[in-house]
Amino acid sequence: MTKLKAELPGPIVPRSRRPKWPLVSAITFFATWSAWLCLFAPSPSLPLSERRIRQHSADSEMCVQTSPLIPQKNGSLWNNLTTLHATDDFLARAISQLSVAVQIPTETFDAMGPIGEDARWQSRGSFVDHLEKSFQLLHSTLALEKVNTYGLLYTWQGSDSTLKPILLMGHYDVVPVASSSVDQWTHPPYSGHFDGEAIWGRGSLDDKAGVIGMMMAIEVLLEHKFTPSRTIILSFGFDEEAGGYQGAGHLAPALLDRFGPNSLAMIVDEGHGYSERYGSVFAVPGIAEKGSVNVEIEVQTPGGHSSVPPEHTSIGILAAIIVHLESHAPKSTLQIDTPVFEMAQCFAAHGSTMPPAIKRSIGRARGSIKDLKAAEEHLVQDRMFRALVETTQAVDIISGGVKSNALPEQAQTVVNHRIATQSSVNATLSRDTKLVMDLARKFNLSVTAYGELLTPPGSTYGSVALRAPQSLDPAPVSPISAPPFRVLAGSIRTARNTAAGGRGGGVRCAGALTALLDTRFYWPLSAHIFRYGHRNLLDGTLGGIHTVNERMSQVRFLPFSSGADSELMRADVRADAFVEIITYFTALILNADEAEL
């Protein structure tokens, strides 16, 4: 098994014999003073490049990076495959595969009927048939189990049964294309059109690129006679865009029944790719997911004719509750030892344009509340970062009333919360209950929260009820110091470096948070779950995911290193961003097969 190599400081040399105290004091004093001078107040005579190197070294200790991980046992195979990936013929083959997959509109709608009754599920059958025809060697080698009709479980049996399997995930359903937006697309949304620079269409990024990229990587490995030592499982859901209850909700229990709890070495699902932050390129594999709960709030008051209205109708009272909730929104608080804090440390360690004062504050935050608050104040100015730090709330649905001249007897709203990793469902529900209670007293309402009557019986004007029919606590945090994360990070860096012709090694990996994905059904199967799709998002557009003009962008921005700083360079290259995804899956499969997980 290949030992993983990390960019770590040099070895620690043990002391021989404890010296006498006065000598220790003198040595400690001069060593501390010298270190302070070197790191924090370098002499003007010290060359600028050396000062940058020293500072870069000190910063990097906050976010140690795994070196690009190149397969060793299968080194010759890796070289042959990457050479193949660089050819025009392979490029054309990859484009064709993704293009045809996009042309099958596997749309998922909310509130779809049962499988077998709702005809909208049938598009999945066409897609599965396409996979079987397009990847014949894969289907003749891997065992396929169809779960709940359209869920796909592939098993590539390894030669060593003592090794824990790895699981690679994806989903092949897509969000619908609104009929009113079709004419806004540059190319029709299900054309799979390739214009020389991009493959256009719904699913070209989310997530048919992941599914097809994975299957192409395996098909080509089989063509080159590769047999894994470690069993590899593929799990493809078909309704992730509506919560995954029919797909992943059945696939995960099937795996749990077969293998048992904590039986998989690692799980890798879709997720964010790599993009520019603070002047450097970061890949951000999700190591955790925020929790989620929808709080339904319903106000009931007496009805009547609107010509004789009360001071406040149910709609008016509900409006006051909503305003009260939004006026007391959860506060953004950066906390150490959370995935968001670890990500901030990576930005500080490797972000070339982050202000030096903020870098220092993040570096000292573990031991200084003042520095932690300074870092927080800067970071939460970014709306996206603020949303990661806090438990969010969004009033998404409101309804009430039936006629203009009839007093509304009921009014309802739904408040969606995404729960920070340091919080919980119970804490979120308790907070909402307290805020509603404040207003209930003012309007003389009884309060029932999640089935429990909280106010004493007596004469009230009306009632307010809180319900939370579905909730999910934040996901367990996957460790970034363990071998599975290092295999992932090393494979990401290798794929980027290979695709960029040796100039992409500057990409850094920072553990991050993601939105709720299918992985929430798989938590019992492994302590090492990661959400990462090797998408190139350097142009800042997110490739049109979930909106008009979704496309697999083909013109890349290549990162390269210049001394201690990372810069970006626009490069007009061949249409091979999708090929880079295939290279990434190839590296991940080969590296996981060799590593001690």
Give domain status of residue 95, yes or no: yes
> Is residue 248 located within the same domain as residue 396?
no
Which residues contribute to the annotated binding site for Zn(2+)? Answer: 171, 206, 241, 269, 546
79 & 200 share domain: yes
- Residue ending a domain, among 436, 453, 474, is 474
- DSSP structure string for 294-324: EEEEEEE----BTTS--SS-HHHHHHHHHHH
Residue where a domain terminates, one of 351, 386, 421:
386
DSSP 194: B
Query: What DSSP letter does each residue of 320-350 carry, written as one string?
Result: HHHHHHHHTPPPP---TTSHHHHHHHHHHHH
Torsion 530-535-541-546 (CA) sign: negative
Q: What percent of the chain has pLDDT over 70?
A: 85
Same domain, 276 and 155: yes
Residue 11 included in any domain: no
SS3 content of the chain, % helix, strand, coil (to 5): 40, 20, 40
Annotated binding site: 171, 206, 241, 269, 546
Instruction: Say if 339 falls within a structural domain.
Output: yes
Q: 281 lies in a domain?
A: yes
Same domain, 415 and 432: yes
Using alpha carbons, list the distances in angstroms from residue 334 to 292, 326, 330, 373. Answer: 19, 20, 12, 8
One domain for residues 137 and 191: yes
Token code pair at residue 240: 């992730």
What count of Cα atoms within 13 Å lies in the side-chain half-sphere of residue 169?
Answer: 28
Q: Which residue has the tokens 């490029």?
A: 91
The Cα–Cα gap between 204 and 103 comes to 10
Whether 282 shows a pLDDT value over 90: the answer reads yes
Q: Is residue 5 part of a domain?
A: no
Instruction: Please calculate the CA angle 452-458-462 and round it to the nearest 5 degrees.
Output: 70
Which of 52-56, 350-354, 588-592 has the largest mean confidence? 588-592
Are residues 165 and 277 both part of a single domain? yes
User: Do 282 and 243 lie in a common domain?
Assistant: yes
Could you tell me the pTM of the whole model? 0.85
Residues 187 and 227 grouped into a single domain: yes
Packing angle of the helix pair 577-594, 483-499 (nearest 10 deg): 140
Q: Tell me if residue 413 falls in helix, strand or coil.
A: strand
Domain match, 296 and 282 both: no
* Domain that includes residue 439, residue range: 291-330+391-474
pLDDT tens column, 48-103: 333 333 344 444 478 999 999 999 999 999 999 999 999 989 999 999 999 999 99
Is residue 9 pLDDT above 80, yes or no? no
- Does 232 lie in the same domain as 84? yes
The domain that contains 452 carries what CATH number? 3.30.70.360
Q: Are 219 and 150 part of one and the same domain?
A: yes
Render pLDDT for 227-242 as a digit per residue (tens, 0 to 9).
999 999 999 999 999 9
Q: Distance (Å, rounded) from C-alpha 150 to C-alpha 144?
A: 11
3-class secondary structure per residue, 239-259: CHHHCCCCCHHHHHHHHHHHH
Active site residues: 173, 240
* Shared domain check, 215 and 100: yes
Domain count, the chain: 4
